[in-house]
Structures are given as C-alpha cells and as structure tokens.
Chain A
C-alpha cells in the first residue's frame, strides 16, 4: 500500500506525463519530500522557500483541503488519496 497523489496537468512535466504517482510518509510534508526524490523539482512547485504551501496550489487529503488540517503537517497514511490542483483565481 502507498499513498496515491493526483498530479495536475501543469506539473506532469515532472512525472513523465503521469496523472498519478505514489509515495509514502507520515505527514504531507514527508510525502512531498518522497515524491520529490522520485520526481525532482515537484516540491519547488508546491512549497515556498519558507517551507509553506504556495498559494497558487490547493492540496487535498481525501476530501479535505489541507489549509484547514495543518497544511504540510497534515497526517497521511497508506491508502489515503492526495489531490493537487492549481487554484483558479485572478483579478483585474
């Protein structure tokens, strides 16, 4: 068992075009590190230099937006499903 991560179109250049990848870790942050070791560069697109999630991306563990569950400290476990989506926003 592993944790499935759904990758949005814009980040599939890092995953050889794959829509999903698998990784492991006890927290979302550890999972992102593990995914980044397999697909270098992806962490940079998700996490700022200060170690926070970029505001341009939304990350969900199962159905929960991690902004409300501890961001990168959110606990994850085998069998969870993580979804990454670019925020759709803008303004004049």
Chain B
C-alpha cells in the first residue's frame, strides 16, 4: 500500500495538470527503508511529449547524488498519462527499475486540450513493478503527515 500525505498527493496532481497535454514526471524521495514519501521533486520531462517521458541524464545524476547524500531513495516515481488510463504501459514496465518504489500513474485523459475545468477528474493509482510483473496497490491519503524532523518521537502506526 502507498501511504501519502494530502499535500504531496495534491502536488503530483497539480504537476500533471500543469504539464498536460505533455506527460509530467517526478519523484518523491524518502529516507532509505522508511517507505515514507517525504520530499516532492518534480522533474523536467526531457522528451516534452504527450506520449513519452524521460528524465534528462544530467538531472538524473544530480537527483541521485542528492538523494545519496541525504540517505534517501525514490519512494515514489510518478508520471502522467494524458490520453490513456492510469496504468503502466509496456514501455513503462520495460524501463521500471526500482523494485522498492511505488510507481504512481496519474491520468488527465478527461481533460482534452484544456485542464482545470470543473469536473475534470484525475485518476491516481499506484503500482509495484518488479521483474516486469505489475501489481496494483491501494493508495491511502493521510491528511497530515508529520514528516521525519524528529523521527524518534513520531509514531505512524
């Protein structure tokens, strides 16, 4: 199950709306081993495409260096589909290489050429992709998530 706070959930949806009709992409990093998505990092889609996304190779190196320095891992890897459902495509599966990550798919397919209109829903789904096998998981949105500033005093469960 993916447990994510409301602010981060909203930020992912907002990014997908903003980049529509191109695909939006990014990461939510968290402390290694915590499974807590804490640090929202929107990335540039270097492909700037409605059908493909790709982190720029220099951005990718900086992102991983930064996460390494903070002992973080990519807890969530997200991207949007702007004309199709929020499920990993064959291409998504072939590239997926973080077996520990939650792959979040957001679909803005109801939005047509404009986004932000009343009633344009956004699908938000989460998957594990391990060795090419996809399994969907539940998403729990928690209203406020006390992020790990003082982890020894915060009890999550």
Interface residues of B, Cβ cutoff 8 Å to A: 23, 25, 27, 43, 47, 49, 51-55, 57-58, 60-61, 64, 73, 77, 79, 81-84, 88-89, 91-92, 94-100
Residue in contact with B82 in the complex, picked from A56, A67, A87, A92, CB distance below 8 Å: A92
> What class of interface size applies to chain A in its complex with B?
10 to 19
The interface residues of chain A lying within 8 Å CB-to-CB of B99 are: 9-10
Bound Cα distance A10, B82 (Å): 29
Contact partner of B98 among A63, A86, A92, CB < 8 A?
Answer: A86
Bound together, the chains give a CA A22 to CA B82 distance in angstroms of 43
A/B pair count, beta carbons within 8 Å: 77
Interface of B is mostly: mixed
Q: Of B43, B89, B98, which is within 8 A of A90 by CB?
A: B89
Which listed residue, A10, A85, A88, touches B25 by the CB 8 Å rule?
Answer: A88
Cβ–Cβ contact B53 & A85, under 8 A = no
Which of B47, B57, B61 counts the most A-chain CB atoms under 10 A from its CB? B57
Asked whether, in the complex, the Cβ of A88 is within 8 Å of the Cβ of B95, the reply is: yes
